[in-house]
Structure 1
């Protein structure tokens, strides 16, 4: 705490002397390994991120519904591009989130194995191709959720495609920790985390029920991500948004929380800072929209969390306490009197 107070004091002193804003003054400081602060020119990393909320449709047999979802996604991509975004992030089911009864071979009243031949795959591929083409036109990285078809008889993955600003799929994340229904009837699980970099900022991806698994967020911290992109249909959306704040604060990185418009009244999409505070959120009125923020590692919240909290947690987990532990009878005796 003393180091942090000293750090803030030095930044504010420079701001008062030069007339700069706190954020501008902050750019001239960096923490040393000892925790001190040295004034020094730095090259802060910054990426402008748009997080979307869209109306999620649940019938993959409905070709026109898939096309409407695609049009909605592309409209929001254009808005994100107009607002200067470098990357736009969409929720789970942005094109379609198949209802378990719609595809069930035992349906429509009972859940059973999904018959994926009912899906309009050609329309889905066409919409994704149009999204990739627009990403290239706008020079906009786009992270979009979709079912990823495998070779029969294997079920598809529930995935996030990462499309570069050249319109190319550079990687894909497949949901690993699925709900019981998903893994039993709908999807094949993925096997590994996925990261990608934009302008020096590293992103990781999670989807669906994975909001409930802190070990996945901790895994991305170990992989040095700066921001986790979480796409979900909003299972217990209010609780999920609070969980997302906790994951951001515990791991000291940004979390982009993208959910359908259906949940916007209680948990609109938004971006969480590394200290757990919301930076920006979409409207809570059920409208398709984007919220746009700068992920700037020179911001006060980022410096506090990333430059101090995150390194100290890593140091403490590495065994820094061992050299301070003592052998003392009063320590070993758990029933020792006051």
Structure 2
């Protein structure tokens, strides 16, 4: 299955970001992709007043994404913000397209490195997968990558690929941690992992205006053996790559870490 990862820098205007999503989805379709994945906070970048922008899954922004998916014939996965019952928002991934309609609310909130996501964002509680062309796909968001149990839960649900949209916070050692963690999660669960982050604003000549996590780029497609198959640098770009689900079966036969689990495992 051919997939596309759209590494971009979003701003505070949901309509402008939706226009970029449309253009990038068109490029992915031209490249023969069946699925295009956008970063966390595609709807509006962190550092924006999220509560004033949040919309339900049947609101205009999500409806616009659905129309783009319908027009292109692709499944589109993009990060948005939906209202939470307690006055906060949820950090939501929308997955939509022909035969697919799913959403995932980020479980692990980024209360780390001096940022407190839980002040404005309520945590999710459900592990979410969906099926496309016979491939089961798990959804995770950014800080979730530090929690291997979520990715093994994807594998236990039958997933062969996990998608990880992110808006990774910059700082000393953070790129190295990102690159280590995405490879480790693929290897933990012996599955493909598509990690797509916001591009580094500095790569387009825009200095960050707040301490909010606005992205470092370095999106990558990781194989089920933990090897990097394709990667980007810090600047906006579209990565197109092929995922072979049969390779998951082969790797799991060779390295049976899921079947060999004992403590807390099946």
Fold match (TM-score > 0.5): yes
Indicate conservation of the 8 Å contact 1:229/1:255, yes or no.
yes
Partner of 1:315: 259
- 1:1-338 equivalence runs, <5 A: 47-57=1-11, 59=12, 65-99=13-47, 102-103=48-49, 116=51, 118-119=52-53, 121=55, 125-151=59-85, 153-165=86-98, 170-180=101-111, 181-183=116-118, 185-235=119-169, 236-262=174-200, 267-282=217-232, 284=233, 286-287=235-236, 289-299=237-247, 302=248, 304-309=250-255, 312-317=256-261
Structure 2 portions without partners, runs of 5+: 204-215
Which one has a larger percent strand, Structure 1 or Structure 2? 2
Runs of 4+ in structure 1 displaced over 4 angstroms?
263-267
Name the Cα RMSD after superposition. Answer: 2.5
Which one has a larger percent helix, Structure 1 or Structure 2? 1
Larger radius of gyration: 1
Q: CA deviation at 1:252?
A: 0.8
CA distance in 2, matches of 1:297, 1:97: 33
CA distance in 2, matches of 1:250, 1:191: 21
Alignment: residue pair count? 242
Indicate conservation of the 8 Å contact 1:238/1:267, yes or no.
no
CA distance in 1, matches of 2:166, 2:104: 13
Indicate conservation of the 8 Å contact 1:51/1:291, yes or no.
yes
Q: CA deviation at 1:234?
A: 1.2
